[in-house]
Amino acid sequence: MLFAVAVLAVILAVAWQYGWHGGLGFQESSAQARARLQSARLLLDSGQYRAAEAQLAPVLRDPRSRLFRAALLARWHIELTLAFTHAPGSAPRRRAMQRLRPMLAQLLEEGRWPAAQWRRLAQEAFAIGAYALSAQAWLAAARRDPAAARPDQEAAARAWAADGRSARGGRLLLSLAAHSHDPVRQKAFFLQGMGWLEGDGGAIAALSAGRATLAHLPGLWRDHAIVLFMARLALAAGQPQRAARWLDAALQRRPVGSRR
């Protein structure tokens, strides 16, 4: 009880600071909207989720408000926090998760978030099983912060794979391999991407994508693991002669051509 009273006192102090002077309602100026946002955060921290949402409601009714986007984020964090208070697998948890997805989609549609916010949304999307939205947010972070794009793109590929679209994640990893200057990463991205692509798209599609990628990375043909992988893939795709040529070239230490 004393804690609730203390929280209420802080909320009143915040509201007074931003221009509320004892009226029965907030006038929806920017200052009052800021007061509502701060009050909502305090209520969230104290576990009063529905009271926090009630503070945001007037701001969320005005998409023209400069604080509308901040209110959307605040509502998202309230609902996300509330969802995880329910027991895993319970009906209330499932219903809460269903409410979260359209809120998250709206946040992604708003766009123009800083890279750090995109990454946080991507992580939160993955946590609730919204893998396609997670991939979308990771790629948005990569576009917003190109200097740090590689880890974001890797995370996007994992999200696509978790969503059951391994071929899409695999193609993204092949693109990372083709643009990497690190032979270790080239090999790792290539093998992981090819494995996903084969598993989801089949051997023929994977073989075509692998040959196209290796045309940009001819140095990988010197790696026996790559040659063996491609030869096995060629056999699975019904192209034993191509597999034999690659294996023979590797044994004879001759250059292996991706177009042969």
151 near 136, Cβ under 8 Å? no
239 versus 39: the higher-pLDDT residue is: 239
Task: Tell whether 183 is covered by a domain.
Answer: yes
Of 86, 118, 137, which residue constitutes the final position of a domain? Answer: 86
Task: Tell whether 95 is covered by a domain.
Answer: no
What pLDDT is recorded for position 5? Answer: 42
* Region 104-131 average pLDDT: 96
* Region 200-213 average pLDDT: 95
Q: Which residues contact 224 (CB under 8 A, 6 or more apart)?
A: 250
What pLDDT is recorded for position 29? Answer: 67
* Region 201-214 average pLDDT: 95
Query: CA torsion angle for 187, 246, 243, 219 (degrees, to 10)?
Result: 20
Q: Domain of 238? A: 165-260
Global pTM reads 0.81
What pLDDT is recorded for position 115? Answer: 98
Task: Tell whether 142 is covered by a domain.
Answer: no
As a whole-number percent, the residues of the chain with pLDDT over 70 amount to 86
Is the pLDDT at 85 greater than 50? The verdict is yes
Out of 29-33, 50-54, 63-67, which region has the weakest mean confidence (pLDDT)?
Answer: 29-33
Average pLDDT taken over every residue of the chain:
87
* Region 222-247 average pLDDT: 94
Tell me the pLDDT band of 255, cut-offs 50, 70 and 90.
Answer: low
* Number of structural domains the chain divides into: 2
Give the ranges where the chain is alpha helix by DSSP (H): 2-17, 30-45, 49-60, 68-83, 91-110, 115-127, 131-144, 149-162, 166-179, 183-201, 203-214, 224-236, 240-251
Tell me the pLDDT band of 21, cut-offs 50, 70 and 90.
Answer: very low
Of 86, 120, 152, which residue constitutes the final position of a domain? Answer: 86
* Region 144-161 average pLDDT: 97
Of 86, 104, 131, which residue constitutes the final position of a domain? Answer: 86
Q: Residue 72 and residue 123: Cα distance in Å, rounded?
A: 17
Task: Tell whether 29 is covered by a domain.
Answer: yes
Task: Tell whether 4 is covered by a domain.
Answer: yes
Structure-token pair, residue 118: 């995109």
